Structure 1
Amino acid sequence: MTPKPEALYLDLMKKTLSFTLWPEPPIPLETFNYSRPPLKRYLVSLVSWILRHMNLELVHRRSITEDQRVEGRIWPGYADTMIGLKRLDNLQYCIEKVIEEGVEGDLIETGVWRGGACIFMRAVLAAYGIEDRKVFVADSFEGLPPPDPDKWPADRGDTHYRERFLAVSQTDVMNNFKKYGLLDEKVIFLKGYFADTLPAAPIEKLAILRLDGDMYGSTMEVLDNLYPKLSRGGFCIIDDYSLKGCKAAVDDYRSKHNIDTEMIRIDWTGVYWRKE
């Protein structure tokens, strides 16, 4: 039986966004240069600068397995999402379920990196001709915030803010939407740290709430502000449950609000549940 056009389109979108249609190419050595000791960082930058003037590039060839890419276990050099195919499959399932059952509300991801998961959200809506839902794209577009241990003690010592690889500008994310033909008035950008943008965000109801904030504080700020807006029957998806801070925030919020709905494992790090 030939798959329906929307199924073929969405399958191709997942493989394209995750770059799993192609072998992972070597990446410029400078991509992760910020995490090296100062002397190595200087030497890599110097050699790279010299080579650029010769129309050459210093690259690093990584040994990456297919399972690592499918499960989103790497920070990819070229993909527009790092969540892997299993979490993209889950996202598709959740969106199709709320469409099928008429669960009211928009879709949001909080912490979007290059925008791949949000692009896929918009792609699913487009594939099914859905015109009455928006996709909210919430991020600082400058990387993660430094930890605030006075407010969120569980974040003490967190170093995500140093990872400049995680900082992708709003312009770059918008351009990624454009290259897939999916940047339109249904896509709403919320630029800034969650504590500043989410309390007054123009969101009435949500059907899909997808969190990818890594830290305790970032996760708790999203849950505090947006979980009450998640419709009954909507899905709450946690990308980073394997991270200590994120897991603690999710567990604390669920305990405080007596949420005992079973969390379902997606892969090695992702979980989700359906609001009752």
Structure 2
Amino acid sequence: MTISLLDNLKIRYRRFRIASSLHRIDTLGALHRAWAYVHATVLPGDYYEFGVYKGNSLINSWLSHQYFRRRLERSGQLPFNRTGTVARFLARTPTFYGFDTFNGMPDNSEGEDTLAPGSFQSSIAHVTRRCAIADLRHPTVRLIPGLFAETKEQIGPHQAAIVHIDCDLYGSTVDALDAIAPRLTQGTVLLFDDYNLFRADKQRGERRALAEFIRKTGLNLEPWFAYGPAAQAFLCHQ
């Protein structure tokens, strides 16, 4: 799959327009707000995404991170010195992990035409080329193919600053949460892009998976803000 000229221009344009994203109410705005929070609180950690598709969220997340990092590094108006926690925060660039089958939706029993097995298919090569347009390259970005239950051992060694779950399905969300659980810390942002899918049915999809995860682990998640047509952000309390 080649990258069209229009797609190339859109990614390059987004690089110059990322600063205007804070008040958007879609996924792009949610990611921008999450990175604003991470830099305001100097929360160290990596970015984890479950459900990459063509890489749009991964790219926008990287661009937002870069924007707020430059502000923290360059602003002379900040009322503190860049020592201690700030210096440690700036000393390390987060790794951006993208987990996906890269073969489309796995087999499932959700019964929705829009989530049929094989839908939302994109290749690692295509995502890699799109990320490179935004200067997001290995080893900063790591794309990990396979079912989440089979790739959980490839979760990175550092805590998660932001976790973006965009995998629609109940089973996939269960596996994603199980994989990321050891990396959640006080203040981690969790973004669920499909939290209110299935008409907000508590017995289906991401809602059911998250409720079961909370009962199982005792994790305290504070609702933060809603975004997009069916999405919800949470803050983690340990």
TM beyond 0.5: yes
Matched, 1:162 2:94: no
For the Cα contact (< 8 Å) 2:158–2:183, is it kept in 1? Answer: yes
Matched, 1:253 2:199: no
Please give the per-residue CA displacement for 1:122-172, whole angstroms capped at 9, x wherever unaligned: 21232324652111111111111102xxxxxxx4546524353x0011111
| Deviation of 1:179 (Å) | 2.2
Written as runs of structure 1 = structure 2, the 5 A alignment for 1:203-242 is 203-242=157-196
Distance in 1, Cα, partners of 2:151 & 2:20: 32
Distance in 1, Cα, partners of 2:38 & 2:207: 25
The residue that corresponds to 1:175 in the other structure is 129
Matched, 1:272 2:233: yes
Q: Which has the larger radius of gyration?
A: 1
The residue that corresponds to 1:142 in the other structure is 103
| Deviation of 1:12 (Å) | 1.6
The residue that corresponds to 2:86 in the other structure is none
Distance in 1, Cα, partners of 2:138 & 2:153: 24
Q: Secondary structure at the match of 2:37?
A: helix
Distance in 2, Cα, partners of 1:102 & 1:14: 19
| Deviation of 1:103 (Å) | 1.3
Match of 2:43, as an amino acid?
A: V
Q: Give the one of 77, 87, 92 matched to 2:32.
A: 92
CA 1:95–1:227: 2 relative to 1, 3 Å: farther
| Deviation of 1:100 (Å) | 2.2
Match of 1:186, as an amino acid?
A: T
Distance in 2, Cα, partners of 1:196 & 1:140: 10
Q: When the two structures are superposed, what TM-score results if normalisation uses the length of structure 1?
A: 0.63
Q: Secondary structure at the match of 1:232?
A: coil
Q: Secondary structure at the match of 1:107?
A: strand
Identity %: 23
Q: What are the ranges of 5 or more consecutive residues in structure 2 without an aligned counterpart?
A: 1-12, 71-89, 198-203
Greater mean deviation of Cα atoms: 168-177 or 129-138: 129-138
| Deviation of 1:227 (Å) | 2.7
| Deviation of 1:247 (Å) | 1.6
For the Cα contact (< 8 Å) 2:161–2:187, is it kept in 1? Answer: yes
Higher relative contact order (CA 8 A, sep 6+): 2
Q: How many residues align?
A: 195
For the Cα contact (< 8 Å) 1:113–1:141, is it kept in 2? Answer: yes
Match of 1:258, as an amino acid?
A: G
Matched, 1:113 2:74: no
Q: What are the ranges of 5 or more consecutive residues in structure 1 without an aligned counterpart?
A: 1-7, 17-69, 71-83, 148-154
The residue that corresponds to 2:84 in the other structure is none
Q: When the two structures are superposed, what TM-score results if normalisation uses the length of structure 2?
A: 0.72
